Amino acid sequence: GYCSDGDYFGYIIMPFYLEGKLIYFNARNYMASGPKYNNPKVEDFGIGKSVLIYNRDALNIYDTVYVVESILNARTLGDRACSFGGKALSEIQINGIIKSTCKKVIILLDPDAYHEAIKLGLRLIDHKKVKVVLLPDDSDVNDLGRKATMKHVYSNRYLSYHDLIKLNNNL
């Protein structure tokens, strides 16, 4: 939604749901002067950024999920994409993936976070099939769009622990 008055005037509201219940929201500046994000305080919802996973339900609905940095990247990819609010996932967020029923995780962090993507792959490889996709030319999912991003996904293979160690050592 979009706010036309109050504390969030000029901000687009992006809700976080868990099992159909609103648990949080991000407020992204669209037309207002002020900070890029104007998110609720932890006290307002009893939850903070390090716990949040946008579209968390996808982890238990689909066999294959996409891990991206931002909500807008997740929206570009669709229902199977989860956003973690940045390139460094917390232990709580990582455990949310590990404990979920999804079987395959495709990591599509921004190119500047390739090292973090490989480290995340190493954390997940004992629990899920993992694919780490490096997007070209400093582009993220939104820059490329869904169709071009999916071409990169399909042109990469799932990795073994050995593959991930090799990638990590080559950085």
| pLDDT band for position 47 (cuts 50, 70, 90) | confident
Residue 74 — φ and ψ, nearest 5°?
-65, -40
Report CA-CA distances (Å) from 72 to 28, 76, 77, 102: 10, 6, 9, 22
CA 69 to chain centre: 4
Q: Is a pLDDT exceeding 70 seen at residue 10?
A: yes
As a whole number of angstroms, the distance between CA 157 and CA 55 comes to: 25
Per-residue confidence (pLDDT) for residue 37, from 0 to 100: 83
Over residues 59-73, the pLDDT tens digits come to 999 999 999 999 999
Over residues 75-132, the pLDDT tens digits come to 999 999 999 988 899 999 999 999 999 999 999 999 999 999 999 999 999 999 999 9
For tokens 């207002």, what's the residue? 32
For tokens 């990582």, what's the residue? 94
Per-residue confidence (pLDDT) for residue 48, from 0 to 100: 79
| pLDDT band for position 4 (cuts 50, 70, 90) | confident
**Secondary structure class of 126 (helix, strand, coil):** coil
